[in-house]
Homo-oligomer: A and B are copies of this chain.
Amino acid sequence: MTHHTLDYARRIREQGYRLTPQRELILDAVCEGGGHTTIDEIYGRLQKKAPAISLATLYRTLDFFCELHLVVSAEIDGQTVYEIAGLTPHHHLICRECGASIHIDHELVQELFDKFQAEYGYTIDMDHMAFTGLCPACRAKAGAGE
Q: Is A122 an interface residue (CB 8 A)?
A: yes
Interface string of A114-131 (1 = CB under 8 A from B): 011001111111100001
Contact assessment for B121 and A132 in the assembled complex, using a CB-CB cutoff below 8 Å: no
Q: Is A34 an interface residue (CB 8 A)?
A: no
Q: How many copies does the complex hold?
A: 2
Knowing A108-B115, A116-B104 touch, does A124 contact B133 (C-beta < 8 A)? yes
- Interface majority SS on A: helix, strand, loop or mixed? mixed
Q: How far is B109's CA from A113's CA once the two chains are assembled, in angstroms?
A: 10
Which residues of the other chain, B, contact A136 by a CB distance below 8 angstroms? 121-122
> Contact residue range for chain A?
20 to 34
Contact assessment for B115 and A102 in the assembled complex, using a CB-CB cutoff below 8 Å: no
Residue on B with the closest CB to A75?
B75
Which residues of the other chain, B, contact A112 by a CB distance below 8 angstroms? 108-109, 111-112
Q: Is A39 an interface residue (CB 8 A)?
A: no
Contact assessment for B123 and A102 in the assembled complex, using a CB-CB cutoff below 8 Å: no
Which residues of the other chain, B, contact A93 by a CB distance below 8 angstroms? 116, 120, 122, 124
Q: Is A134 an interface residue (CB 8 A)?
A: yes
Please report A residues at the B interface, Cβ cutoff 8 Å. 75, 93, 95, 102, 104, 108-109, 111-113, 115-116, 119-126, 131-136, 139
